[in-house]
Structure formats: structure tokens, C-alpha cells
Structure 1
Amino acid sequence: MLHRVVITGLGAFTPIGTDISTFWRQVVEGQSAFAPINRFDASQFRTQFAAEITNFDPSQYLNRADIKRTDRFTQYALIAADQAIKDSGFELEKMDPFDVGVIWGSGQGGTETLEDQTKEFVLGDGHPRFSPFMIPKVLINLASGLISIRSGFRGINYTAVSACASSNSALMDAFNYIRLGKAKIIVSGGSDAPITPSSFGGYCSMKAMSTQNANPATASRPFDVDRDGFVMGEGAGAIVLEEYEHAVQRGATIYGEMIGAAMTADAYHITATHPDGVGATKAMQLALKEAKLNIEDLDYLNAHATSTPVGDLSEMNAVARLTGNKKTKLQISATKSITGHLMGAAGAIEAIVCLLALRDNVIPPTINTEVRDPAIPETLNLVLNEAVRTNVKTAMSNTFGFGGHNGIVVFQKI
């Protein structure tokens, strides 16, 4: 027998809000945080702005020992996970700690640490003075490891890596482990801290990011005819998944139920999505099949839509194929226009958006879209510029990652 899986805790540490309530208010109001980079001198880069978490002081959240042995991406993970665990309210002392696990997602891991340590060696006096914490700080799996160490969770523990689909991969795995009875609770989500000179410079060289340096606030414009690339963001999203009966017995608040998930591969290109969205369509079909939903049953889609010319169009073609290119009640928005692209954390943050949309019956907007790209199928209902208040019973979140990874998750109101 497969167990039902519900969501009982949420945490968000993002450029537009470092707690769930602030984050959600900014998303619904369509208030972004895109601004010139202040973490390093970006004046020589093609792109000079991002969605940064400004004035970040880890000592406000973590003790000295944890700060010393963690990269920024792990610090973001620990903070968001602490929020979600507190929000869920489960008491570990009343459980078997082997029934509580952590499955995290990250695309890059400790890029900042690797960059700083290498720079210190290359520009120093030639003597290797690498920190003994360097390797633990760089390793991608240390986010999940430290969440469990801090909280005493002794169950399933690892980190999923599938580029920008990483946290949806993590959520899917957590969902399946609980369904199979291998855990009662799993803390899942994702984090990334990619705004460093090397990472940022690499994406600039790929010409993947917007170059609207004169007006960063409106640079991320999914579905717009003049979109020219994504805006890099950073942060973490955390979600507590729990076996339904366990949650009910302890009187937990339930945000929604996870009812389907699927992954496919494009098998096409190292960075580009398949132009026809064949893999994306199949993943959405599989996720809906597992959820026992027809496309006519789906109310909201949080699109991956990063504001790249090719990516947005291929995804919308995939959705049109899913709907048979017919009008349905499905409404679509792209909240990366507000949050920026949080890379490996994107799926978790957008799953949180879906869950809060279910709770509050509101579909957040896509902002900055002034002229809809005429190549996007006319049958698709895009939510542009203002949130829509409507009954939201079901929601899907799409994520796609370099390497051709397609990760889809589906939630419903309970």
C-alpha cells in the first residue's frame, strides 16, 4: 500500500523575503529585488545585476562553529530548513529519529568557498594554506548532512543534483520514500549561492543572462517578445513532507498534498531545452497520470520560464501539446520574473508558491511582460502583471536543468 504524502512545513530565504510571509507577500504583489551586484565588482561583465540577498549576516541565524564550517549555500539551507521544521512543529523526541530524513537539492554547492580558497593560493606566496574546512564546505551533500546533524535526524539523507531541476528531484525522491513507508517525515528543498565572479562570469560567457543593465528591475520578462535572458538569484526553499496519517494524528497544519511527480530527459543538448519540448510534455503527462488528474483538472502551472528566448517558447509549446492546443481553465505564471532564477533552489521555491496558491486561492503574476510573444500559442492563459484571485485546487511546478533534466511535481488542496 502506498502512503499519502502531505506538506506540513515551509521555509524560504530569498532575495525578496527571508521568511515565508514576506516572501509570499512580495510574490503576490509582484515586487522583485533585481539590482546592481554589490558583492563584487561586476563593471566588466556583460551582465552587472542580480537578485542578491543583501546585508546577509549569518551570525543572526547560526552559531560561530556552523558559520566557520559552511559555505553560503549551506548557510541558506540551514536557515530555510530551521524555518520549515519550526513551522511543521513535529517533536523529534516523540519519534524514532530514523523515521526522519533529509533529501536536499543543489546545483553548484560551495562555489564561493572553492573560488576564495583557490584565489588565496594562486595570489598568495605559494604556500598552500587551504582551510581544513574547505572540502566539507565545497561538497554539495553537506547541506543535507548538516541539517540532519543540527536536528538529530537519522533517517534517509543525501543531496540530489540535476542542475536547476535539483530541488524538484529532491522533492520527488522524498515523496516516493514516504509513499513506500521508508520514512515518516523528510525535510526537503534546495539551496544555491551562485552569485560569485566565476559562476556569474561563466553564465555571462554563455550569454544566458539578461543584459538590461540600465533597468534591471524589468529585466526578467518571461513570455515577452523582447526577453533576453534570466536574472540570477540565490537562496533556499525548504519543505517538510510527511506521511498523511502521521500528520493527522499529531494535529499538524497541512498546506496541501503531493500527488504526483515525474522526471524525463531531453537527450538533446548539454544546455538547451528541446525546441519542441518533447521531454517536458512527457514528464508533465506522467506526473498528471500519477496524480490521477486530467489536464482539465489542473488549475495552476508555475512555469520554469526563465525569460530566455528559446527556453520559454519550448516550454509553452510543450504545455500546448499537453492541452491538445485547446483552451482549458489552466492558468500559467512565471514567478522567476519576481524572485530571479534561484538555480538549484528554484524548484523548492516554486513548489512553495504552488502550495501557498492552494492555501490562499491566488495565482501570482508574471511581471514585466509588456508585449506577449506572438509565437506563444494563443490557447494558453498567461497570468500577466497582476495576481488572479480564483479557486485553486490543483497546481503543478515545472523545472528544467542543464543536461536535459525535466522535473515535475503536482500538488492538490486537502
Structure 2
Amino acid sequence: MELKRVVVTGFGAITPIGNNAQEYWENLIKGESGAAPITLFDTTNFKTKFACEVKNFDPLNYFDKKESKKMDRNTQFGIASAREAVAHSRIIEDNCNKDRIGVIWGSGIGGLETFEKEVLGWAASTGIPRFNPFFIPKMIVDITPGHISIEYGFHGPNYATVSACASSANALIDGKMLIQLGKADIIVCGGSEAAVTASGVGGFNAMMALSTRNDDPKTASRPFDKDRDGFVLGEGAGSIILEEYEHAKKRGATIYAELKGGGMSADAYHMTAPHPEGLGAYLVMKNCLEDAGVSTHEVDHINMHGTSTPLGDVAESNAISKLLGDHAYNIQINSTKSMTGHLLGAAGVIEAIAVLGSVTHSIVPPTINHFTDDERIDSRLNFTFGKAVQKNVDIAMSNTFGFGGHNACVLFSKI
């Protein structure tokens, strides 16, 4: 059986540095930091007092008041980004068969704000179990793709992927495979996260995973820097419209790139720490290249997982060197998390959108906030520090790794 080709015909984003895909891309190129003091709750007693929040997001600009109350912030972000992507792709205007359109959505945590509010509210009460009737539907991870399918009447495959920070990258890979196998013509793939809450920040603080650079939030996310001290929590959503190539051509859609490869692997090592030799990272990139039928010397750019954690950045850098050999020094690599922070389950898709921008516009966004080289990281690697770089990008990869040792990698190419 010959597998069908899968292309990108639309995308949308709600991020800490832009509330649509164009604004997000422009601020990536400028090297804007989305980090600032937290406004969503009182951080007085917290070790970390800053995050990369989505700014100026009013749900009433997207939903009526009654409708918005039925959705967690996580779902609101997701639907907003999906609307942009669907409009961008013109699949509604072109009367595409809705029975052949699906939605696959990733989130690492889901409706954390809702869970926190309802459980704390009950704990503070007399003990009588009085919960909001929308408590469960607002909280569950799979409700976002459900809402998107209901809004548009999409009857194709519809479910959620949950693999911690790899969740939305896994959604893209699943969407690709379903289209390749002829199970759908179009899949709305994406991910959302809204974990900038007391329990989210408190929980990651307890793990000692977050930066505590409260005196200088904007430079706190500093991947590959010797003095990095943890990741900066982010929130938001992204959506990508995947479509079967011949279907897209037939309707005259604008095609931005081909999703040529998807790789998956497991570290099989530790709940939260990466394999010290980057074994899982190496395998997932190798698997992605093999799936795409692409040689290592053809790679032009890799957007790394690069969270700004002491162990993760070293392991991933070593994996790239091992996989690409001397060619690793010829490519542009970066970490856009230096600007957006870490969007957990939504990281994979918003970083895939960044890679799409590089393929489309021949420019690689910078890694900001680098001050001191880490002697454990090969200084010959080109991390695109400080400023965006003009570069023809025919083949680009994006890495996303999650707690539990879940690894996902996607590869896009010019069409």
C-alpha cells in the first residue's frame, strides 16, 4: 500500500508572545521574551513568581458569557487557535467533506484551573459535595477536540493525546498517520495548556523544575546557558491543519510545507530526568529521519526541546552531535522556549509552527538569554544565539520530550 502525502494548509496560535500566528512569528524573529510577573493568582508564598502568561486574552472576544463559563481556560485557548487555523485553511469555504475531517488534540494536564477551583471550593465548604455541573466536562483533556468538532460538525477521528510535554507533537504524528492510511482527508491537530495556576506552579516548584530568577524574569529562560536554573512555565495553544496532498491540490489550497516524518521513542530511564546519554532523544530523531526517508546531511534546522534545565539541554545537545556527526556544525539549532517558556502539552505544536515559519520564510528565530557557555555542551554547535539568522531551510525538525520519557519528533520539508 502506497502511503499518502501529508501537507500543512493552515495554522493558528495563542501564545505568550502573540495571540495569532502572525504576531507570534514576528515576535519570535524579534527575540521577544514572554516572561513577566504572574497576574493570574497571588504568588506571595511561592518560590517562583513569574511565568509566560498569555496577555490580553479576553474570552468574551471569542465566546459569549454563558458559553465561556462552560470552558476551562485551556479549552478557550484551544478553540481560539483552532478557529484561526480553520479560517486560514479555508476548508469550510471550500465545502470539504466534514465526515472526512477529524480533530486530534494534545494536552499534558487539561483543565487544571477548573480542577483546582472546584476541589478547593469543596474542601472549604461544609463537606457537602456541591460541584459545578460542568466540573468534569471542563476538566477532562479530551473535551477540547470535542468542542472543536461540535462547532464545525467534523465527524472524522476525534480524540486526545496525553504524553506530558510531547502531547501535541504526538497529535501531529497521529494525524499524519491517519491521513497517510486514508482514514481522513484533513485533521485539525493541536494542543493547549493553561497550567499557570497555584497548583501548577506549586507542583513544579516542589519538583525543583522551575526557574526562580524572580529578580529578572525576562532572562530566566536561558537554554544552554551555564547558569540556567530550570524552565519557565508558559501557557497557550496552537493548531495545524494537516491535509492529504492530492486533496489540497484539488481544492487549490495554499500549501505551506509537507509533514514528511514523525518519530517516537521512550527513554525508559526515569520519571522526570532524561537519559544522561540522550538515548531517547537520539532514537526519536533517528526514527523521524527514517520515517521521512531523509538523510542526516539533508537537515538544515532543528528546533530543540531545549527547556533550560541543567540535565535536559546537555543530553539533547549530545544526541544531536551523535546523530548528525560533523554535519551538526552546519545547521542552525535553537530553542524558542527561551521566548515562550514551556507550554507543556502545547509546546510541540507551537514549536512546529515556528519550524514551519523557518521553512516558509528562510529565517531561523534566535535562542535568547545566552550569557555564559556551558563547558558540558559542544560550543561548535550553532544555537542561533541572540539574533535571528537568514538561512534557506528545506528540511527542519522539531523535538518535544515529556516526563515519563516520552519523546516525539516531527520533520517538515519544503513542498
Smaller-chain TM-score bracket? over 0.9
The residue number in structure 1 matching 2:220 is 219
Give the TM-score, by structure 1 length. Answer: 0.98
The residue number in structure 2 matching 1:28 is 29
Q: Deviations over 1:305-357 (max 9, x none)?
A: 00000010011011111123555422100000001101100000000000011
Stretches of structure 2 lacking an aligned partner (at least 5 in a row): none
Is residue 325–residue 377 contact of structure 1 (8 Å, CA) maintained in 2? Answer: no
Amino acid at match of 2:206: S
Question: Counterparts of 2:234 and 2:287 in 1: how far apart (Å)?
Answer: 30
Amino acid at match of 1:359: T
The residue number in structure 1 matching 2:140 is 139
Matches within 5 A, 1:142-291: 142-291=143-292
Deviation at 1:44, TM superposition (A): 1.3
The residue number in structure 2 matching 1:7 is 8
Matches within 5 A, 1:68-107: 68-91=69-92, 94-107=95-108
**Bigger CA drift: 374-383 or 295-304?**
374-383
The residue number in structure 2 matching 1:122 is 123
Amino acid at match of 1:146: H
3-state secondary structure, aligned to 2:187: strand
Give the TM-score, by structure 2 length. Answer: 0.98
Is residue 299–residue 330 contact of structure 1 (8 Å, CA) maintained in 2? Answer: yes
Amino acid at match of 2:39: N
Is residue 31–residue 387 contact of structure 2 (8 Å, CA) maintained in 1? Answer: yes
Q: Deviations over 1:193-227 (max 9, x none)?
A: 00010111000011101111000010010010111
Deviation at 1:94, TM superposition (A): 2.7
Is residue 46–residue 211 contact of structure 1 (8 Å, CA) maintained in 2? Answer: yes
Is residue 86–residue 92 contact of structure 2 (8 Å, CA) maintained in 1? Answer: no
**Bigger CA drift: 119-128 or 365-374?**
119-128
3-state secondary structure, aligned to 2:325: coil
Question: Counterparts of 2:140 and 2:242 in 1: how far apart (Å)?
Answer: 25
Question: Counterparts of 1:153 and 1:64 in 2: how far apart (Å)?
Answer: 24
The residue number in structure 2 matching 1:361 is 362
Question: Counterparts of 1:92 and 1:343 in 2: how far apart (Å)?
Answer: 33
3-state secondary structure, aligned to 1:78: helix
Amino acid at match of 1:23: Y
Deviation at 1:95, TM superposition (A): 3.0
Amino acid at match of 1:309: P
The residue number in structure 1 matching 2:404 is 403
Q: Deviations over 1:42-101 (max 9, x none)?
A: 121111100111342101011334312111101100000000000001127733322000
Identical positions, percent:
51
Question: Counterparts of 2:358 and 2:224 in 1: how far apart (Å)?
Answer: 21
Question: Counterparts of 1:355 and 1:324 in 2: how far apart (Å)?
Answer: 25
Is residue 160–residue 171 contact of structure 2 (8 Å, CA) maintained in 1? Answer: yes
Question: Counterparts of 1:154 and 1:200 in 2: how far apart (Å)?
Answer: 37
State the Cα RMSD in Å.
1.1
Q: Deviations over 1:120-159 (max 9, x none)?
A: 1111233322011111001100011111001110000000
Is residue 296–residue 329 contact of structure 1 (8 Å, CA) maintained in 2? Answer: no
Question: Counterparts of 2:329 and 2:91 in 1: how far apart (Å)?
Answer: 39
3-state secondary structure, aligned to 1:323: helix
3-state secondary structure, aligned to 1:319: helix
Question: Counterparts of 2:51 and 2:196 in 1: how far apart (Å)?
Answer: 8
3-state secondary structure, aligned to 1:8: strand
